[in-house]
A and B are shown apart, each in its own frame.
Chain A
Amino acid sequence: MTSHPLGRPAVLLPLTAFGVTLVAFVLVPTYSDATIGSFDVYNTLQIFARLGPLALALGLTMIAGEFDLSVVGTYALGGMLTVQLGQEHVAHGVLAAVGAGAAIGLAQGCLIAGLRLPSMPVTLATYIALLGLTSALSGGLTKTYANVDVILWVDQTVLTWFSPRSLITLALFALAALVLAATRWGRELRAIGGDRRASRVAGVAVGPLLVGTFVASGVIAGLGGSLLSLSLGSANPDPGVQPLILAAAAALLGGVSLAGGRGSAVGLLGGILAVALLAEIATVTALPAYVTQLFYAGLLGIIVVVDAPDLHSALVRLRADLGPGNARVPAHPARNPHV
Chain B
Amino acid sequence: MTVASTSARTGHELVRVDGLVKSFGSTRAVRGASFGIEAGEIHALCGHNGAGKSTVVKMLSGQEDPDGGEISIGGEVVDLRSRQAAQRAGVALVDQELSVVPSLSVAENLMLGDARTGWLNRARRSRRRFRALLDSVGLTHVALDRPLSSLGIGERQLVEIARALGQDARLLILDEPTATLSDVESEYVYASVRKVAATGCAILFVSHRLGEVLALCDRVTVMRDGAVVATAAADGLTVDSLIEQMLGEAPSRLDRTRAGRSGDVVLSVTGLSVPGRVHDFSISLRAGQVYAVAGQLGSGASDVLRALAGLVPAATGVVEVDGRRVRTGRPTVASAAGIAFVSNDRKTEGLFLDKPIGWNLLATRLPTLTRLGVVSRARWSRSVAELLGVCAIEPHRARDAVGSLSGGNQQKVFVGRCLHRDDVRVLLLDDPTRGVDVGGRAAIHDLLRSAATDGLAVLFSSTELEELLDLADVVVTMHKGDVVRTHVGDTAGSVLLREITHGGHDPHDPRDPHDRGVGAPAKELLS
* B150-A1 in contact (CB<8A): yes
CA distance A188 to B103 in the complex (A): 11
Kindly state whether residue B378 has any CB partner on chain A within 8 Å: no
The main secondary structure of chain A at its interface with chain B is helix
* A183-B147 in contact (CB<8A): no
Which of A110-118, A121-129, A197-205, A299-307 is the interface stretch? Answer: A197-205
* B522-A201 in contact (CB<8A): no
User: What is the CB-to-nearest-CB distance from B197 to chain A, in angstroms, rounded to a whole number?
Assistant: 22
Q: Among A1, A261, A321, A336, which residue has its beta carbon within 8 angstroms of that of B270?
A: A336
Q: 0/1 per residue, A175-188, Cβ < 8 Å to B?
A: 00000011111111
Q: Which of A3, A203, A317 has the most C-beta atoms of chain B within 10 angstroms of its own C-beta?
A: A203
- Chain A: CB-nearest residue to B329: A317
Q: 0/1 per residue, A1-24, Cβ < 8 Å to B?
A: 111000010000000000000000
Which of B43-51, B199-207, B228-236, B512-520 is the interface stretch? Answer: B512-520
Which of B214-222, B245-253, B279-287, B408-416 is the interface stretch? Answer: B279-287
- Chain B: CB-nearest residue to A335: B519
Which of A38-46, A78-86, A90-98, A322-330 is the interface stretch? Answer: A322-330
User: What is the CB-to-nearest-CB distance from B282 to chain A, in angstroms, rounded to a whole number?
Assistant: 3
Given contacts A201-B95, A203-B114, A320-B313, contact A336 B271 (CB under 8 A): yes
Chain B neighbourhood of A216, CB < 8 A:
none
CA distance A335 to B518 in the complex (A): 6
- Chain B: CB-nearest residue to A206: B83
* B113-A203 in contact (CB<8A): yes
Chain B neighbourhood of A188, CB < 8 A:
112-113
CA distance A44 to B522 in the complex (A): 71
Tell me the number of A-to-B contacts counted with CB atoms below 8 Å. 176
* B329-A186 in contact (CB<8A): no
CA distance A235 to B119 in the complex (A): 39
- Chain B: CB-nearest residue to A328: B316
* B146-A2 in contact (CB<8A): yes
- Chain B: CB-nearest residue to A5: B145
Q: Among A183, A200, A317, which residue has its beta carbon within 8 angstroms of that of B120?
A: A183
Q: Among B147, B271, B286, B486, which residue has its beta carbon within 8 angstroms of that of A328?
A: B271
* B328-A320 in contact (CB<8A): yes
Kindly state whether residue B99 has any CB partner on chain A within 8 Å: yes
* B314-A339 in contact (CB<8A): no
* B282-A194 in contact (CB<8A): no
Q: Among B113, B117, B143, B486, which residue has its beta carbon within 8 angstroms of that of A339?
A: B486
Chain B neighbourhood of A336, CB < 8 A:
270-271, 280-282, 483, 519
| Listed A/B pairs (8) with beta-carbon separation below 8 Å | A190-B103, A195-B100, A198-B99, A201-B99, A262-B103, A320-B329, A332-B280, A337-B485
**Chain A to chain B: the 9 pairs with minimum beta-carbon distance, closest first:** A203-B113, A330-B271, A337-B522, A336-B282, A194-B103, A317-B313, A202-B113, A261-B103, A325-B316
Q: Which residues of A approach B to under 8 Å, CB–CB?
A: 1-3, 8, 181-188, 190-191, 193-195, 197-205, 257, 261-262, 313-314, 316-317, 319-321, 325-339
